[in-house]
Structure 1
Amino acid sequence: MVGNVSRASIISDRRITGLSPDVIAELVTDVGPLWHERHQARLASRARKRAVGAGAKHRLVFVDRLLATLVHLRHGVTHDVLACWFGVDRSTITRAIGEVRPLLAQRGCTVTAGVRLRTLAEVVEYLGVTGETGIVDGTEIRVRRPAVGRKDRDKFISGKSKQNAVKAMVLTDGDGRVLFCSPTTPGSCADITHARQLGLVRLLSDGPAVEILADAGYQGLGAQTGGRVVTPPHRKFKKNAPDWYEELHERQRKAHSSRRIRVEHGIAHLKNWRALARHLGHREHTSDTVQAIAGLLSQQQAADLISTQQS
C-alpha cells in the first residue's frame, strides 16, 4: 500500500483526483461506513470456520481503495498501473474499484451541503420548489463493440456518431451545475425516447410547473408536458423562406441556444473525467461510472460555490 507521504500528496493535489481535500474527507466519512457495513455483511453471509475479523488484514485500507477509484475515474489509469502505485496485486485494485464505484454512484448529485438529489422525481420537485430553470441534454460515451454473434450487437451503434456508444441523460440548473445523470442506455436509443423511458413526461405533466430547456432532439415533449419542456422553434418554411422569416427564426434559435448552452458546459466537465472520454471496461459498469462521476463533480461544484460565497 502507499505510504502516508504518498497518500497525503494524492489528497492534497487536486489535479490527481479532481477533488479538494475537504471533499475527499467528506467521502471518507460518508462512504467508509457503508463500505465497512457491506464488507462485514458479505463475510457473515457465508459459512465460516473462523470468526469474522480473524485472519489476514487488508493490505489496501479503505482510504487507499477510495483514492485508487478516484484516480481511475479521473484519469482512466489502468488497474495494472494502480496496482504498481499502491503496491498490491491487480486483482485487489479491480476488486476495490468494483466495491467503491457503486457506493459513489448511489450518493446522487449534491445541491448544497447535506442535500442530494438521487432520482429524477427529486430533481423535478427541487426545481419546482426553487423556481429554477432546468436544462436537459443527452451525451454519448464510446464503448467497445460487442463480440461477433452476440445478440443485439448493433443496438449500441449510435445514429448520431456512427460509433458504438451508450447514452446518458444529463440535467443541470441554469448555471450548468449537474443535478441528475441517468443510467446509460444503448446508443441507438433516441434522446426523446430515453427521456420518456425515464418518466420525464409523466413527472412534468403531474408535477409542479417548471421550465426545462432542451434541444431539437426533444421536440414533441413540449406538447406532452403542457409547455414545460421548451425546445427550439419549428421551422415552418423548408424551402423558399422569406428573408424576414429567416432572420426571425435565426434570432429565436440563437436566443434559445444561448440559454441552454450551460448544459454543454456541464457535460464538458463530466467528460474531463477520462473514464467518460471512452469507456474501455465492461459495458455493464458504465451506469455506475457515469453516475459516480456526476455525484463527485456535483459535490465539488457545491463545495466551490460555498467557498466562493464565503470569500
Structure 2
Amino acid sequence: MKKNNHPVEGPDGLVCTARLPLSSATLNWLAGLIRGHLKKIRSRWRALPQGRIAALVLAVLRCDQRPGDLAGGNGIHRTTVTRWVREAVGLLAARAPRLDRALKKIARQGGGMVLLDGTLIRTRRRSGKENRKNYSGKSKCHGLLVIALTDDRGRLLRVSAARPGRTSEITACRHDQLTAKLRAAGLGAIADLGFVGLDDSGPDTGPAVITGYKAARNRPLTRGQKLSNTALAAVRAPVEHGFAHLKNWRVLGKVRTDPTWATALVRALLVLTNREVSR
C-alpha cells in the first residue's frame, strides 16, 4: 500500500480567485505609493508587479487572507507576502494625520466640535505575564485599546496608539494630552460616559470634553438629565459609523501578530478607510 503524504498547501494545491469589496482607485493609489517607494530605495526588481503586490496587501487587510494561501496562488514564498504587507502598512501609516494637525484642520473648516470614543481590538491570548496587561475587564476579552476622533459626520480624523486592553480610556487620552490640544485648537469634544472625569477644567473655563450624566444608587437621574443624555447619544451616533468603517477591514477581527505592530496597522487602515469613504 502506497502512502500519499503530499502536503495540503503547496505548489500543487488548487487556486481560486475572489472579489475584493474595494474600488480600483484605492488599488491604483496603493500601487502608485509602492512604486514611488521602490523608486526611492532604488529597488529595480520584485517578484510581482506593483499592482499585484497592492492587490495581495489589500486582500490580507480587507479579507484577512492568510499570506501562505496568497503566496501559493502566486508562486512566491509566504514570508515574501508578509514582508510586502508590512512594507505597505509602514508606508500608509506614515501618511496618517497627527492629532494637532487634524484638530487645526477642523478648526480651519469652521467646525466647532469633534466626537470622541474608544474601542477594543481583540488579540490572541498570550502566555505568561504578557497575557495580563492585554485583558480588558470591561469587555471580558484580550485586546488593545484604541481612541478615535471623528468629525460631526463620522469621518475618522485620527486614531491613537494601540495600548494594552487594561488601560482605561481616560488614561489613554491624558497620555496624549487631548484636552490641552482641544483647547489650543479652540474645539470641543463630545464623548460617552466612559470619559466622565477627563476634563479637569476650572469653573471659569468652558469644558473641552462634554459627557452625559451618570446615575448613582442614592442619586437617580432627573428628567432633564435623561433628556440631555438622549440628545448627546443622538449627536454621538456618527462616531459609531466611523468605527464600523474601520472594522470592515477584517484583519482587525483578531490581531494575530505582534501587538506592537498594531499601532501602525490601525493608522494604515485609517488612511485606506478615508480614501474609500471619501470616494
Q: Same fold (TM over 0.5)?
A: yes
C-alpha contact (below 8 Å) 1:35/1:100 kept by paired residues: no
Letter in 1 for 2:63: H
How many angstroms does 1:147 deviate by? Answer: 2.2
Q: Deviations over 1:104-157 (max 9, x none)?
A: 11112xxxxxxxxx1001111112222322101111111122222x4x531111
How many angstroms does 1:180 deviate by? Answer: 0.8
Letter in 2 for 1:170: A
Partner of 2:104: 125
- Equivalent of 2:218, from 230, 235, 239? 239
Rounded Cα–Cα distance in structure 2 between residues aligned with 1:31 and 1:88: 18
What is the root-mean-square deviation in Å for CA atoms of aligned residues? 2.2
Partner of 2:79: 91
Judged with a 3 Å threshold, the aligned counterparts in structure 2 of structure 1 residues 260 and 177 are, in CA distance, closer, same or farther, namely same
Q: Give runs of aligned pairs for residues 271-310 of structure 1, distance below 5 A.
A: 271-303=247-279
Judged with a 3 Å threshold, the aligned counterparts in structure 2 of structure 1 residues 72 and 39 are, in CA distance, closer, same or farther, namely farther
1:288 partner SS: helix
Letter in 2 for 1:20: S
Partner of 2:191: 214
Q: Does structure 1 residue 81 correspond to structure 2 residue 66? A: no
Rounded Cα–Cα distance in structure 1 between residues aligned with 2:29 and 2:99: 24
1:221 partner SS: coil
Rounded Cα–Cα distance in structure 2 between residues aligned with 1:147 and 1:22: 42
Q: Give runs of aligned pairs for residues 1-311 of structure 1, distance below 5 A.
A: 16=20, 18-38=21-41, 40=43, 57-108=45-96, 118-132=97-111, 133-148=113-128, 150=129, 152-205=130-183, 207-224=184-201, 226-235=206-215, 238-239=217-218, 241=220, 246-303=222-279
Rounded Cα–Cα distance in structure 2 between residues aligned with 1:227 and 1:212: 9
2:199 partner SS: helix
Q: Report percent identity of matched pairs.
A: 29
Rounded Cα–Cα distance in structure 2 between residues aligned with 1:208 and 1:92: 44
Rounded Cα–Cα distance in structure 1 between residues aligned with 2:156 and 2:241: 10
C-alpha contact (below 8 Å) 1:80/1:90 kept by paired residues: yes
C-alpha contact (below 8 Å) 2:62/2:249 kept by paired residues: yes
C-alpha contact (below 8 Å) 2:179/2:199 kept by paired residues: no
2:222 partner SS: helix
Judged with a 3 Å threshold, the aligned counterparts in structure 2 of structure 1 residues 240 and 136 are, in CA distance, closer, same or farther, namely closer
Letter in 1 for 2:223: E
More helix by share: 1
1:195 partner SS: helix
Judged with a 3 Å threshold, the aligned counterparts in structure 2 of structure 1 residues 194 and 106 are, in CA distance, closer, same or farther, namely same
2:136 partner SS: coil
Partner of 2:4: none
How many angstroms does 1:240 deviate by? Answer: 6.3
What's the TM-score, normalizing by structure 2?
0.85
- Structure 1 regions of 5+ residues with no counterpart? 1-8, 41-52, 109-117, 304-311
Q: Deviations over 1:147-176 (max 9, x none)?
A: 22x4x5311111211211101111111111
1:164 partner SS: strand
Rounded Cα–Cα distance in structure 2 between residues aligned with 1:193 and 1:284: 19
- Structure 2 regions of 5+ residues with no counterpart? 1-16
Q: Deviations over 1:78-113 (max 9, x none)?
A: 1111112322111211111121111111112xxxxx
Higher alpha-carbon deviation: 285-294 or 223-232? 223-232
